[in-house]
Structure 1
């Protein structure tokens, strides 16, 4: 009987870990959307700090493969990851990014004790102020660890699947600011 109880506890712990990892990954993507849908976020500096709360101190963020190696590179540790995001959001972009939304699919999460790996495919449309648009898809191979009782991202690893231009005007109605969580 004790063996069955321990087996059930282990299975519940794995399910809870998978659910938390799923929430962390979805939150990361949510915070990366443009316009940022998080209620009360005043600026990109605050957005970046909310993203960094999801990461372990020694985490790695990297773009890999022939297309993403040169575009994203590798950032090791929270300070380097902060600089990576500051470079993306910190500059006044011309053309400005008006819309960017992440759609996650093909999820696989593997929990082994206090460590886990997760794979996803994501697609994201981008719309710029000059009328250009594109659809981007990437594979994600991310690592997670339970640190002081909380799951954190230890590795974000993204590889390009494709980038495809979209016709101007393919999306006609989209918000300047999100009001979802008000």
Structure 2
């Protein structure tokens, strides 16, 4: 392989990684704001036509099941797009990223922390392991297999407390 070909190959890999990260970031952004006005077409565009979204491990396999095909995934996620929103507040945090290139695409692994407040007032802290296969379809990197496995979940008190935020001087306004 010539130096130019090797360089172009490396650039293509980096661009693929960046596109996969952007795809997952867009997905999490949509999931953080699910409501009756959610753009389900934008959500659908993040998955390949033959994608599979599934819970892994005993807890999430039972809670979430498996959804085969872009339409089935979007139909399942649409049940969370209600008025009032199922999630009064939702935030996903991703860490410990690892991306591996394969002949058929890119596989990403992340640890995810989720801090939802549900419409019924319950608050949770949840952690999961994500394994996501990405494939290029119609010139865009999309999720082809999404797997989420629960590490822990527990109810917590209200996230947004009307308390003074601690600072070394005693006031954040000093």
Find 1:99's aligned residue among 89, 93, 110.
89
**Match for residue 128 of structure 2?**
138
Q: Distance in 2 between matches of 1:9 and 1:79?
A: 35
1:89 to 81, 84, 107: 81
Q: Is the 8 A contact 1:123 1:135 kept in 2?
A: yes
Q: Show the counterpart of 1:162.
A: 152
How far residue 4 of structure 1 moved from its aligned partner, in angstroms, is: 1.4
SS at match of 2:161: coil
Work out the CA distance in 2 between the residues paired with 1:149 and 1:113: 16
Instruction: Give the corresponding residue for 1:178.
Output: none
- Which consecutive residues of structure 1, in runs of 5 or more, have no partner in the other structure? 37-41, 174-182
CA contact (8 A) 1:17 1:111 kept: no
1:171 maps to: 160
1:69 corresponds to: 61
For the residues of structure 2 that align with 1:143 and 1:35, how far apart are their CA atoms? 23
TM-score, length-normalised on structure 1? Answer: 0.80
Q: Compute the displacement of 1:49 (Å).
A: 2.1
The reply on whether 1:120 has 2:110 as its aligned counterpart is: yes
Equivalent pair of 1:35/1:99 in contact (CA under 8 Å): no
- Gaps (5+ residues) in structure 2? 163-174
Rg comparison, structure with higher value: 2
* 8 Å Cα contact 1:35/1:98 also seen in 2: no
Say what the alpha-carbon RMSD is for the aligned residues.
Answer: 2.1
Runs of 4+ in 1 over 4 A off after TM superposition: 90-93
Aligned-partner Cα distance in 2 for 1:156–1:130: 28
The aligned counterpart of 1:19 is: 18
- State how many pairs are aligned: 162
Q: Distance in 1 between matches of 2:13 and 2:3?
A: 15
Q: Structure 1 residue 92: deviation in Å?
A: 5.8
C-alpha displacement of 1:74: 0.3
